[in-house]
Amino acid sequence: MSTRKAGAILYFDDLRVGDLLPVLTKRPDTRQLVMYAGASDDYVPIHYDKDLAAEAGHQSVIVHGALKSAFLGQLVTDWMGSEGRIVELQVSYRGIDYPGDVLTCKGKVTALRREGTQNLVDCDIWLENGKGEVTTPGKAVVALPAR
């Protein structure tokens, strides 16, 4: 795991396969879901109507999948620093998450490669619920500068 100071540049040459990205913890609440719905124009009722969510068998309204994707995007951008660039970001929604739960975003470097002039870092990324279950796995590819 990198111990860089905030704002410091992350260099490709300083990474090793197996390095962990710094953990990002999120605690979404219903207010954040409302704000996200407004910002993204995503007003699917299961994200704000508790009665409809209960009819669908859920304990509460559910966190937007795209919001969980955004959390994982933040994990990567916080880690890669200002000189990094996301080349690819993909996630898969495998489980339901609820407001009030602690969601933990994690990642690990899985490969380092050079393609042409690009220094690419492959990462597995994932979001875990408060029980430690992976509800949103994904992958990221980041281009970083070399020393």
Q: If you count them, how many residues does the chain have?
A: 147
**pLDDT at residue 41 tops 60:** yes
**pLDDT at residue 134 tops 50:** yes
Class assignment of domain 17-143? Answer: alpha beta
pLDDT at site 3: 59
Chain-centre distance for alpha carbon 15: 20
Nearest one of 137, 128, 124, 138 to 26, comparing CA atoms: 128
User: Is the pTM of the predicted complex or chain greater than 0.95?
Assistant: no
What residues does each domain of the chain span? 17-143
CA distance to 63, 85, 91, 120, per residue, from 146 (Å): 38, 13, 27, 10
**pLDDT at residue 90 tops 50:** yes
**pLDDT at residue 113 tops 80:** yes
pLDDT single digits (tens) 1-20: 445 666 689 999 999 999 99
